Amino acid sequence: MKIYYKIRQYGLHMVWYVLCVTTSHLYASHHIAFKDVASTVMFNSLQPLPKDHFLRRLYSHLLFTPVWMQEDSPSVLATSLLSDIEEDKTLPRASKLVQDAFMLQKKVEKLYAKHSTLKEKVALEFQLSQLYKGYADYTLYGSIDWEAFQLRLHHLQTEGIKADWVTYKPAFTPVSLLEQAVSSHNLTQMFQKAKPTSYHYAELEQALCRYEQIAKSGGWGHVVLYGVLKPSKRYKSILILRERLRASGDYMGCDTPEGTRYDTCLKKAVMHFQQRHGLVADGVVGRQTQKALNVPVEVRIKEIRLNLDRIKWLHQPHAKRHIIINIPAFTLYFEEDGALRQRMKVITGRLKNPTPVFSNTVQTIVLNPNWNVPKSIIQKEMIPKLLNDPNAMAKKGIEIYEGWSKDAPKVDATSIDWSRYRYSKTMPFHFTQMPGYKNALGKVKFLFPNPYSVYMHDTPTKYLFHKNTRAFSHGCIRLQKPIALLQTFSTFNDSVDFQKVQEKLKGDKKAYLKLDNKVPVDVVYLTAYVDYNGVLQFRDDIYGYDKMQRLSYRKW
């Protein structure tokens, strides 16, 4: 009996196994048959489209296989796409993308709730791909029309301004991202992977969500102040000021009673606000602070969005060490393993000589550099001085040579008719300032090759670092603490012996230090960003780039 029972049980298991295998093969065959027929329909439908049309390019890479539609239900990727758009807090709820996603969600539900044709499924497949393209463009590329912006920069040349902004394409395209999502069966993960990881991008996104919430709650009121508010005094407008700072999260509240006196607790909040907006953090509420207080939250939201989109087109560094120079913040940051190692003030280009936005790598450090004066500076600044005083260059330690060759003869400035060369297309003379503490480059310069002849360097004009806005150079980056940066380089470069370097700097002999471990430098332009303490910062648009980019800003 036991043997019979075991044989019977084994037979039942075999029947069940055969049924399962047969059913799964039938289902798989059914599924494959749907894909095969759908692929044929899709291929034929897309042939009339131009070869560069997104749908044709996308499905050519995917071998015309449906991504979103299956025979009996939408795919996992379709569900992910619709939920990703719905859950994206950076997208305005009234945006066309969100509304299209909502509409297509309803269409998908309706399609699978009834008997639908293959033609209907393929049509919805294409609609979902168009929705995907829009959301992928939003996520990967943002809203800045870079071609229009570059054209505006080019037009600045008519005003004598040469401005440059180099963009670096994101690592993914909508097609390559979806290819990998199909392979990994995880679209949400691929969207996350495609987001920038540098410049505190994720933290800035979180700040955007916070400010969107502030806007939904009514934003903050307009602050009207009469005169300057100083700590320890009483003002009727203190109540309004306190509520304004509470709304933006600068005032966290204290144990002391909240009256009309400008108390220590409120002063701390004002200074926090001033520091976040690049103002002199002295606690005195004057005209500039009031102006910053009265920027509506909706404007701040636009600034955050604009800078998120900029980060998408910046060079994304992957080196152990990394230097960031943020032009509107007039600050250099030295990162190591993602953490801040060193920070210092910098002086950047004035409005007429803007520092370009670009990336390269520090390869060489020059000790006791001489300054070879560019032709534009010779003609715009030095020749007018020579016309007034033929000894003007000699007084500044600038020597003039007849050409650039090593044996070029030195020129007596008093013997030249400089009016002939002020507007000439060529400049036959070489102006160079000899090494020394009075040299415009100071005692050290850091070279990172680029077509703009821009570098980081020391400066004799140390007093300018006491100013809050520091756009004074011809485009190069002047460093507040060049020797400290040099010392930092010495800690990971055997070619930089800091003790020997200090001895060389006492003299005037030029020396080149080739670096074994080079460091990427990214010169950026961020007017809204999150700092290394997680604090949201805003800075003035010193070159007017915010305004220029918003003129062609795409709406979703």
Q: Kindly report, residue by residue over 491-525, the tens digit of the pLDDT.
A: 999 999 999 999 999 999 999 999 999 999 999 99
């700097």: which residue's tokens? Answer: 505
Q: Looking at residue 20, what is its pLDDT?
A: 37
Q: Which residue has the tokens 């709730």?
A: 113
Is 207 a member of any domain? no
What are the residue ranges in the chain where pLDDT is below 70?
1-32
Q: What pLDDT is stored for residue 254 in this prediction?
A: 85
Looking at the structure, tell me whether residues 125 and 36 fall in a common domain: yes
What pTM, to 2 d.p., does this model score? 0.89
What is the gyration radius of the CA atoms in the chain, in angstroms? 32
Domain co-membership, 124 together with 49: yes
What CA–CA distance (Å, rounded) separates 175 from 159?
Answer: 41
Q: Are residues 422 and 327 in the same domain?
A: no
457 in catalytic set: yes
Task: In whole angstroms, give the CA distance from residue 231 to residue 266.
Answer: 8
Which two structure tokens, joined as six digits, stand for 497? 């012996």
Q: How far apart are CA 267 and CA 385, in angstroms?
A: 48
Q: Give, to the nearest 10 degrees, the angle between helix 96-112 and helix 76-87.
A: 150
Residues in the chain: 556
303 within domain boundaries = no
Q: What is the pLDDT of residue 491?
A: 97
> Which of 200, 277, 430, 476 is flagged as catalytic?
476
At position 270, the amino acid (one-letter code) is V
| DSSP type of residue 380 | I
pLDDT of residue 302: 97
CA angle centred on 83, ends 82 and 84, rounded to 5°: 95
Structural domain contains residue 111: yes
In a domain, 545, yes or no: no
Closest listed residue to residue 162, CA positions, set 447, 454, 469: 454
User: Is there a single domain that holds both residue 238 and residue 261?
Assistant: yes
**Domain boundary pick from 123, 140, 157:** 140
* 313 token code pair: 């087109």
Does one domain contain both 390 and 477? no
User: Cα-Cα-Cα-Cα dihedral of 297, 302, 307, 309, to 10°?
Assistant: 140
In 3D, which of 254, 167, 274, 288 has the Cα closest to residue 545?
A: 167
CB 368 within 8 A of CB 435: yes
Note whether 487 and 441 are same-domain residues. yes
Pick the closest to residue 312 from 173, 438, 442 (CA basis): 173
Residue 485 and residue 479 in contact, taking contact as beta carbons nearer than 8 Å? yes
Q: Does residue 449 share a domain with residue 349?
A: yes
Is 254 an annotated catalytic residue? no
Q: What is the CATH number of the domain that holds 227?
A: 1.10.101.10
**How many domains are contained in the chain?**
4
Q: Which domain holds residue 378?
A: 374-433
Neighbour-count burial of 481, counting CB atoms closer than 10 A to its CB (0-12 exposed, 13-18 middle, 19+ buried): middle
Contact call for residues 556 and 97 (beta carbons, < 8 A) = yes
Structure-token pair, residue 222: 């307009």
Q: Is residue 287 part of a domain?
A: yes
Please identify which of the residues 200, 272, 457, 474 carries the catalytic annotation. 457
Same domain, 402 and 489: no
* Sign of the C-alpha dihedral computed for residues 448, 454, 455 and 456 taken in this order: negative
Rounded to the nearest 5°, which phi and psi values hold at 169? Answer: -60, 140
pLDDT in tens, 118-161: 999 999 999 999 999 999 999 999 999 999 999 999 999 999 99
Backbone angles phi, psi at 524, to 5 degrees: -120, 170
Same domain, 446 and 408: no
> Which segments of 23-66 are extended strands (E)?
none
Answer whether residue 499 is part of any domain: yes
What's the confidence (pLDDT) of residue 337?
94
